[in-house]
Amino acid sequence: MLEYKAPVRDIKFVMQELLDCESHYQHLGYQDASIDMVDAIIGEAAKLTEKVIAPLNQIGDQQGCSWNDGVVTTPDGFKAAYKQYVDGGWPTLSQSAEFGGQGLPHSLNITIAELFSAANHSFAMYPGLSHGALATIEAHASDVQKQQFMPKLVEGTWTGTMCLTEPHCGTDLGMLRTKAEIYDDGSYSISGTKIFISAGEHDLSDNIVHIVIARIPGAPQGNKGISLFIVPKFNVNNDGSISDRNGVSCGSIEHKMGINANATCVINFDGAKGYLIGEENRGLKCMFTFMNAARIGVANEGIAAAEASFQGALAYAKDRLQMRSISGIKNPDGAADPIIVHPDVRRMLLTQKSIAEGGRALVSYLAQLVDIGHAEQDEAIKADAETKLALLTPIAKAFLSELGFECTSHGVQIFGGHGFIKEWGMEQLMRDTKISCLYEGTTGIQALDLLARKIIGSKGEILKPFVNDMTMFCQENFDNPDMAEFIKPIMAYAKEWRDITLAIGAKAQKNLDEIGGASVDYLMYSGYVTLAFFWAKMAKVAQDKLAAGTNDSAFYQAKINTAQFFIQRMLPRAKGHAACIENGVDSMMALNSEDFVF
């Protein structure tokens, strides 16, 4: 069984030394977010995740959730752990003080969310989607709706879901059939079936608030006719108190590959009372508030998976004796050497470490951009942050979920046959993590969003602010010989990133399928280059700390060594993606559909 330890030292490095969260918070007016306060919150979160949440991970996988006539029961210990989570005030951390929240920065909350996800992915998903529901209601709902629903959602005694897809439509939400018919009092009758609803029914909270897309009769077809509604499990009075049961029921729970302790539900709406959020037929735009928050959360899950698999694999690799090192005996008193001495095991461990720590830097940076969007007064700074966030969110979601899954595969591999059996927990990590590549938009959907809608749609303009930051960092450190091994490749890749973008745009003018053919390779290329930039920045911080003198030299030297590994062994993967893009779409589309045979 895995024993998770919160990576507190690395979290503090990213927040305080790399991203200077103290200055960031003070500038934005988060006066309560002092370093002492941040350290205390992270420390308490570490205790809760290590001692309460992580021990339930394997139990939850073994027991799963049970369904009986619409009632879902979570595994042993989950209800008590969730009560402890709520009693500790964790749901309120970054929520508005107006509705009972603590008003702390989003970037602090996303850091804490990583710990919960790494400790127990299934558990973390129960409160996880509530943050997106809250963001959507706060941004788009009426004042009456906010007063009805937000206080209990903020408190955590109610939870939220996102109800998008249906059995027949998958990602193509314009095909939805769920109907919303207006009542005389202005509320709506919602009827239809939604599938794959994470935490759609459970026994942890007093009420579940579903955020649902549906079509009002007479609305335009496709995405232009989608409206958004609040549909609670129990009806809610104007003062926020619970009334009678609404026409919402759980038809079944899915039997899944992983995250067995989280109830993934079929939810039926049978004339359920719902409340329109925002304007009619503008629901998908409102829903993107939820989806963008969720996508950063999924990127965080990729980091969590890489971290948890690294911790398990590292402990095993130091202890497991197998064979002798090809360069000479390293453990003369033992029957064999520990497997950590073998280069291929080091390759897998460093892949895990470089993705976990590099991804943590990227997601923490994205979370600070969200802080800026919430609290910055300078509109130009806010616009710059929103542009970078729009570019990097699909990259982070898809790249880190894919690489997080790869890291769990390495974890199984390092354990060998022991990794394939349930006792050690490594195969559970792999099963639990695959979903992160799928929900909130698959890797292919994220790639199309990035390349078609954002890059091509903006004629490349959206790329410029972030690449300019990369270029400026390289120029500032160009004459530093200690940074040359990082700066030179990053400058070359930054130029190539721009060139590839222009080349795809030119090809697309002749054949639009070139966009779809290049999209995933383009996103993965972008991911490797982006993480290389953050590793270069971390290497610079580590070099400065070592030059100034420190009692933590081993930590900073490891940062530099891991940065070197990423630049030398991970970043070259981008060249393969670049070659695929250059080779174009023709070979993908050459076969007619009927020629695909088996």
Q: Which amino acid is at 566?
A: F
pLDDT of residue 409: 98
Q: How confident is the model at residue 595 (pLDDT cuts 50, 70, 90)?
A: confident
- Percent of the chain whose predicted confidence (pLDDT) is above 90: 93
Which residue carries 């897998």 as its tokens? 348
If you average pLDDT over every residue of the chain, what do you get? 96
CA–CA gap between residue 114 and residue 129 (Å, rounded) = 14
- Residue 125 is which amino acid? M
Phi/psi at 258 (5° precision)? -155, -165
440: annotated active-site residue: yes
Q: Is the confidence at residue 291, as pLDDT, over 80?
A: no
Q: Which residues contact 504 (CB under 8 A, 6 or more apart)?
A: 451, 455, 456, 514, 515, 518, 522, 581
Residue indicated by tokens 């639990």: 432
Closest CA to 579 of 510, 521, 514: 521
- Statement: residue 411 has pLDDT above 90: yes
| Tally: H helices and E strands in the chain | 20, 11
> pLDDT band for position 81 (50/70/90)?
very high
Condensed to tens digits (0 to 9), the pLDDT of residues 14-36 reads 999 999 999 999 999 999 999 99
Q: Max CA-CA distance within the chain?
A: 84
287-447 CATH fold? Butyryl-CoA Dehydrogenase, subunit A; domain 3 (1.20.140)
CB atoms within 10 A of CB 321: 12
| Cα-based angle 583, 585, 587 (whole degrees, multiple of 5) | 85
State the average pLDDT over residues 308-322: 97
Q: pLDDT tier at 13 (50, 70, 90 boundaries)? A: very high
pTM of the model: 0.97
- DSSP states along 90-101: GGGTTS-GGGT-
* Average pLDDT over every residue of 468-478: 97
Tens of pLDDT along 498-533? Answer: 999 999 999 999 999 999 999 999 999 999 999 999
Report the DSSP beta bridge partners of residue 189.
Answer: 181, 273
Beta bridge partners of 73: 66
**What token pair was written down for 278?**
């925002």
* Res 290 pLDDT > 80: no
pLDDT of residue 170: 72
pLDDT tens digit sequence for 125-146: 999 989 889 999 999 999 999 9
372: left (phi over 0), alpha (psi -120 to 50) or beta: alpha
List 440, 461, 485, 582, catalytic entry: 440
Length of the chain in terms of residues written: 598
Query: pLDDT for 232-261, tens place per residue?
Result: 999 999 888 999 999 999 999 999 999 999
pLDDT given at position 438: 95
